[in-house]
Structure 1
């Protein structure tokens, strides 16, 4: 069992160490330059089309949602326990310098998130029995954009099999936070 744990730890250290950091920051920097930092230079446009239209009633047509509902759905999909727990852990483990690197990662990560959204919208698949419902996933992008049918199938299987584990990680983060809160409150009394 210790041998298996050592192998998993070695692979994890390699994947989540320097190579992953270089790949993520490098991709974000490349895409930011390619998009000419539009998320910063066109900030007025973005605010007008998000916050400016957020409370302007429901969209036109059947099955549309309001801007506020779309914004809430987008935030619910993006902000999660992992982000909250991850930020707290980074500040605890890395100190104030971690905040600076989180800002840099966020600035560069905006372009990768924008690319993910654009690719998802471009290569989405329409439901067969529906007039206006679509499916969008990374596996559809792999299949439709890159032509990697076997890779898309493998990715879909991995997401299906490994998906519940992400819930376990989030649950563990919440439980540990509650335990620490309880310990802090009982310590003060």
Structure 2
């Protein structure tokens, strides 16, 4: 069993729930994260969600998403999930969108409802995807990825689309994204 942290609209922790039971038509607001992995060449790692995922199976998305365990810091959760999902060791984990929040509904009514801070990560290993999490990976130049997303040529998960729009407002070059202060995180994510 893996618990997720439930939060109120201000990002305060109000409890926990079993991750296996939290995503449905009435998904409560909970804490998550998204990671955007770049290698030494500046390429971005896009991943395709496994067919067995409850939300957005088969969808192309950002490098890694996940939920921190209760009492686990978000950077630690990012490192853990990158290792679990992709077999990647990160060399840098930088907070770039501390207050990102979204709600998205699948055609079958299943909802994602998350406060989901976004991280830029540096990792130079070749990914070794865990097949129950990730079915495919691809390294792309960031500008090629952004152009494909914004033009509609590349269909991705709804949270990734919203994040790409927000990240594009920071700078065209991910190396220029300012690192945000952890004091900007929602209260439940500051522990």
TM-score range, shorter chain: under 0.3
- Name the larger-Rg structure: 1
Structure with the bigger percentage of strand: 2
Structure with the bigger percentage of helix: 1
- Please, what TM-score do these two structures have when normalized by structure 2? 0.24
- Please, what TM-score do these two structures have when normalized by structure 1? 0.24
Q: Which has the higher contact order (CA 8 A, sep 6+)?
A: 2
